[in-house]
């Protein structure tokens, strides 16, 4: 069951399509002081943001698994990811799990200490947490710009 109701959508900025949703999600992450590579979603169909409450959602065609190479962690993103954002923090997160040893563990909160070069902490509903360098989740913007230039040269 979706947490995103028509009532919520009525008060939100809503976008449709993979390209604009990726752009908006990276922008929002940066805007609240979180690394822009935190949500490496694919085939996003819809995204939205309710500025008054901080509620955000992203809907993709199907769940995906993504490995963050710099820390060697596999993360699973459900077809619908929801959360509340505030400066340097994501709370009440749903739809995101991380693989620890042989089991999948639900994440409920993500926050950054001493942004932008500090540490990022991931918490579970049980209160367990792991901390990593923020840089492990930061996209290299320069590469994206260079890739765009190569495409324009042809």
Residue 86 is assigned to a structural domain of this protein: yes
DSSP 3-state of 45: strand
What CATH number corresponds to the domain at position 93?
A: 2.30.240
82 closest CA partner among 52, 121, 55: 55
Token code pair at residue 51: 């500025």
All residue ranges of the chain with pLDDT < 70 are: 1, 115-117, 141-154
**Rounded to the nearest 5 degrees, what angle is found at the Cα of 66, between the Cα atoms of 104 and 99?**
20
CB 58 within 8 A of CB 39: yes
**pTM assigned to the model:** 0.85
Number of structural domains found in the chain: 1
Query: Mean pLDDT score of the chain, rounded to an integer?
Result: 88
Sign of torsion over alpha carbons 23, 21, 139, 122: positive
Domain that holds residue 46: 6-153
Residue 10 is assigned to a structural domain of this protein: yes
DSSP 3-state of 129: strand
CB 126 within 8 A of CB 107: no
Spatial distance between the Cα atoms of 4 and 127, rounded to a whole number of angstroms = 26
Residue 148 is assigned to a structural domain of this protein: yes
Q: Tens of pLDDT along 118-136?
A: 899 999 999 999 999 998 9
Spatial distance between the Cα atoms of 93 and 80, rounded to a whole number of angstroms = 11
Residue 53 is assigned to a structural domain of this protein: yes
Spatial distance between the Cα atoms of 76 and 96, rounded to a whole number of angstroms = 6
**Rounded to the nearest 5 degrees, what angle is found at the Cα of 40, between the Cα atoms of 150 and 91?**
145
Residue 102 is assigned to a structural domain of this protein: yes
Residue 1 is assigned to a structural domain of this protein: no
Tell me what pLDDT residue 138 has: 86
């Amino acid at each position: 069951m979706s947490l995103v109701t028509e009532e919520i959508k009525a008060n939100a900025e809503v976008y449709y399509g993979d390209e604009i949703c990726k752009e908006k999600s990276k922008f929002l992450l940066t805007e609240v002081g979180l690394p822009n590579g935190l949500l490496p979603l694919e085939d996003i169909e819809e995204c939205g943001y309710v500025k008054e409450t901080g509620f955000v959602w992203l809907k993709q065609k199907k769940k995906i698994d993504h490995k963050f190479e710099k820390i060697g962690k596999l993360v699973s993103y459900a077809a619908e990811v929801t959360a509340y954002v505030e400066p340097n923090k994501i709370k009440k997160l749903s739809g995101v799990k991380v693989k620890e040893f042989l089991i999948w563990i639900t994440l409920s909160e993500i926050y950054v200490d001493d942004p932008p070069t500090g540490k990022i902490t991931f918490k579970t509903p049980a209160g367990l947490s792991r901390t990593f360098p923020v840089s492990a989740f930061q996209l290299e913007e320069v590469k994206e710009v260079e890739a765009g230039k190569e495409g324009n040269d042809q």
